[in-house]
Amino acid sequence: MSTRKFDQAAAGWDGKSRRVEVASKISAAIANLPLHKKINGMEYGCGTGLVGLALAPTLGHLTVIDTSQGMLDVVREKIESQNISNVTAQCCDLLRDNYTQKHDLIFSAMTLHHIKDTQGLLQRFTALLNPGGYLALADLVTEDGSFHGPDAEGIMHHGFDPHKLADLLTDSGMTDIKSEIIHSIDKEENNKEYPVFLLTGRKA
Ligand SMILES: C[S@@+](CC[C@H](N)C(=O)[O-])C[C@H]1O[C@@H](n2cnc3c(N)ncnc32)[C@H](O)[C@@H]1O
């Protein structure tokens, strides 16, 4: 999807139970990291905040970032209506904009496959982490292109080999790298399951 399509999809985004389920599996897996109330976190590609707002109560502060104003409008409405005081939403493209805030935790869910320059983005994430900070990335394992089907506008990768991503993380200075399959998305219409990985690492 392009930014324009994400803008259009934002209002109805949470209406798809499959998306809500994937986000809940991802937030539960990230919650296994040693999170605490002094952590200043950032989520990249937050969408409507399904993952970030589930984790926010365990953190000190969370900046949720997206390039879609439509998605950010939905997150801001949730922040306001739920009186959430430790989350701020920001429109930013880390590969284009001058973002310099450092974080103790950066996470991203189902967003990497929309961004062409994976290595560049991983290097930006690493540079924005404080020493000892955690990175957590969840996305599809390499698939045959059927996950998004013919409407592949804005799809830059048909998933990833988590081992290759792990090598890129090592190259960008991360340690303690672990990957696991945390969920499998059942698309009955394709008669297929699409595994989702969580890759975590720590900045030296
Ligand atoms: C599939 S959605 C996932 C949303 C959310 N993380 C979740 O799991 O529900 C991908 C999100 O990434 C955002 N996105 C796409 N390209 C981006 C970029 N270059 N920088 C930041 N966000 C981007 C989209 O606007 C969209 O909100």
Supply the CATH number for residue 170's domain: 3.40.50.150
Q: Cite the beta strand spans of the chain per DSSP E.
A: 40-44, 61-66, 87-91, 103-109, 129-140, 174-187, 192-203
With a 6 Å cutoff on the Cβ, whether 52 touches ligand 1 is no
How do strand 103-109 and strand 40-44 relate by DSSP bridges? parallel
Best residue for ligand 1 mutational test, from 67, 94, 96, 125 (most atoms within 8 Å of Cβ): 67
For residue 24, what pLDDT is reported?
98
Q: How close is the Cα of 114 to the center of ligand 1, in Å?
A: 7
Assess if residue 123 is contained within a domain: yes
Question: Which residues form the domain of 87?
Answer: 3-9+18-186+199-203
Residue nearest to atom 12 of ligand 1 (CA): 45
Q: Is residue 95 part of a domain?
A: yes
* pLDDT tens per residue across span 114-170: 999 999 999 999 999 999 999 999 999 999 999 998 888 899 999 999 999 999 999
Residue 176 CB neighbour total at 10 angstroms: 11
Q: Is 74 within a domain?
A: yes
Residue 132: inside a domain: yes
pLDDT given at position 163: 97
- In this structure, the residue with its CA closest to atom 14 of ligand 1 is 45
> Ligand 1 pocket check: which of 114, 116, 148 to mutate, most ligand atoms within 8 Å of Cβ?
114
Domain assignment of residue 193, yes or no? no
Q: What is the CA radius of gyration of the chain?
A: 16
Residue nearest atom 10 in ligand 1 by C-alpha distance? 111
Helices marked H in 31-161 = 52-55, 69-81, 118-128
The tally of domains found in the chain comes to 1
**Cα(161)–Cα(92) distance, integer angstroms:** 27
% pLDDT > 90, the chain: 94
Q: Answer whether 47 contacts ligand 1 (Cβ < 6 A).
A: yes
SS3 57: helix
Is the pTM of the predicted complex or chain greater than 0.85?
Answer: yes
Sort strands 40-44 and 87-91 into parallel, antiparallel or unpaired.
unpaired
Q: Is residue 192 part of a domain?
A: no
* Chain segment 181-197, per-residue pLDDT in tens: 999 999 988 999 999 99
Q: Tell which residue, 62, 54, 52, 151, has the closest CA to residue 110.
A: 52
